[in-house]
Amino acid sequence: MVFDGEAAASLVKEMRLSFNSGKTRSYEWRISQVNAFLKMVVEQEDQIIEALRSDLAKPPLETVVYEIGMFKNSCEVILKELKQWMTPEKAKTSITTFPSSAEIVPEPLVLSLDPVVGAIAAGNAVVLKPSEISPASSALLAKLLAEYMDNSCVRVVEGAVDETTALLQQKWDKILYTGNGKVGRIVMAAAAKHLTPVTARRIISGKWGCNNGQACISPDYVITTKDFAPKLVDALKVELENCFGKNPLESVDLSRIVSSNHFARLTKFLDDDKVSGKIVYGGEKDESKLRIAPTLLLDVPRDSLIMTEEIFGPLLPIITVNKLEESFDFINEGTKPLAAYLFTNDNKFKEEFVKNVSAGGLLINDTVLHLVVHSLPFGGVGESGMGAYHGKFSFDAFTHRKAVLYRGFTGDASLRYPPYTDTKQKTMKALVAGDVTGVVRALFGWS
């Protein structure tokens, strides 16, 4: 069956009817869906691991920690806090509008599992279109969500360009898109005077531990001083071997490249002699298995393709500067990244970094983890994206904060109505200035 414009329109109509029935508004329904998600990831853990292994050769541990673990955490936060998030906020009203009370009522806007659970927590109906580039995961999501979730309000549409186009022709109340389109590059400035294995390992887990570099928050490149670069390269080499062994292409702990298109895209970066000449570690590839080994490059030309495009793969350029302060300009010259990481013990430098570097999120002395902290909003800025989510920020992203003002009929300020007199104007001015005597004087015609 073809999913075309007509099918999309019909799906949206059905979802809107479900939404209009009011069922997604209740606290009970939202909790029931979040619980269904939790049940699903626990009961189907093996299937999920298998799908990700099939799509990406993702190591089971990575799946369990990053995908399942994080998602379970999101669900648990929602279960704990949803009641509070749903309570209308009282807003201050002023004496001049007495008697009245005001509140901001969180109201769902109709419309990957983390955004899906956020949207559900906010009481929306949701259609999920998973990436077709990971077909096993896409099929699994379609199957499991149909099995576990309330199908009248939560649906999956699989497919590629045609189906996406059909969906985008419909009217949605919100669209959350995670993906390419200048998702943004990650930048890292490493400065630690005493480089510990911990630092190197944190860099490694952020870069190659996440889908072998195919993650929006993986460090894209590193900036460090000329003096420090050799130490950094050595430390990374040692730790990389500890993590992935002498033959990383054979390592089961390394994900493969998702598709031959992306494999070609990545090898193209290395086609440039000026770039491939700078490889100081790694560089091995296996086209038949779509595998590329963790690769370090030292001081590639700044205008090469690998430095102007988002890498999204296991290649890590290291750029050296004379003084680390130069890294700010370097970063700010480019488009704003999704995340910027800094490794340093220098508190002053930390402050300068936070003050001067604009990015979706900043993380000092670690990588990637800010994604997992639900009290921090995750999102981009400028070219790296707009909007943010995670935790309550997800709830807010899918919510319209509706202002509601209740007034009564006791007392009315005639100064609102014509005829417009000088007295009325003077009284208004006094009210604005909070000048009670002025108000009295105006009303008595004394000013």
Partner 1 sequence: MNNTGVEIEETVKELRQYFKTEKTRSVTWRKNQLQAILNLVHENEDAMSKALYQDLGKHPVEAYRDELGGLEKSAQTTLNCVEKWMAPTKSHIPLVFFPAKGEVLPEPLGVVLIFSSWNFPIMLALDPLIGAISAGNVVVIKPSDQAPACSSFLANTLPQYLDTNAVKVIEGSPRVASIVMTSAARNLTPVTLELGGKCPAIFDHLSNPSDFKMAVKRIVGAKWGTCSGQACIGIDYLLVEEKFSSEVIELLKKFIRKFYGENMIESRVLSRIVNKQHFERLCNLLKDPLVAASIVHGGSVDETNLFIEPTILLDPPLDAEIMTEEIFGPLLPVITVNKIQESIGFIKSRPKPLTIYAFTKDDTFKRKIVAETSSGSVVFNDTLVQVMLLLPHLIFML
Q: Is residue 105 a contact point for partner 1 (CB under 8 A)?
A: yes
- CB 360 → partner 1: shortest distance, Å? 10
- CB 103 → partner 1: shortest distance, Å? 9
Nearer to partner 1, 43 or 325 (CB): 325
- CB 418 → partner 1: shortest distance, Å? 4
Spell out, one character per residue from 175 to 204, where the chain touches partner 1: x when CB under 8 A holds, - when not. -------x----------------------
Rounded-to-integer distance, Cα 113 and Cα 403, Å:
30
Q: Which residues contact 434 (CB under 8 A, 6 or more apart)?
A: none
Q: Is residue 433 a contact point for partner 1 (CB under 8 A)?
A: yes
Rounded-to-integer distance, Cα 351 and Cα 415, Å:
52
Q: How many residues bind partner 1 (CB under 8 A)?
A: 57
Q: Is residue 437 a contact point for partner 1 (CB under 8 A)?
A: no
SS3 446: coil
- DSSP-assigned beta bridge partners for residue 292: 285
- DSSP-assigned beta bridge partners for residue 399: 108
Residue from 320, 369, 441, 447 that binds partner 1 (CB under 8 A)?
369
Nearer to partner 1, 61 or 91 (CB): 91
End-to-end CA separation in angstroms for the chain: 79
Helix (H) or strand (E) holding 339: strand 339-343
Residue from 175, 413, 436, 440 that binds partner 1 (CB under 8 A)?
413
Nearer to partner 1, 96 or 169 (CB): 96
Nearer to partner 1, 286 or 346 (CB): 346
Q: Which stretch binds partner 1 (CB under 8 A): 49-57, 102-110, 308-316, 437-445?
A: 102-110
- DSSP-assigned beta bridge partners for residue 225: 321
- Contact assessment for residue 58 and residue 211, using Cβ atoms and an 8 Å cutoff: yes
Which of the residues 298 through 337 are near partner 1 (CB under 8 A)?
Answer: 332
Q: How far is CA 47 from CA 54, 66, 74, 131, in A?
A: 10, 16, 20, 18
Rounded-to-integer distance, Cα 28 and Cα 33, Å:
9
75 burial level (CB within 10 Å; 0-12, 13-18, 19+): buried
Which residues in this chain contact partner 1 in the complex, by CB under 8 A?
Answer: 20, 22, 25, 91-94, 96-97, 100, 102, 104-105, 107, 182, 332, 354-356, 358, 369-370, 373, 375-377, 381-383, 385-387, 400-409, 412-413, 416-421, 424-425, 428-429, 431-433
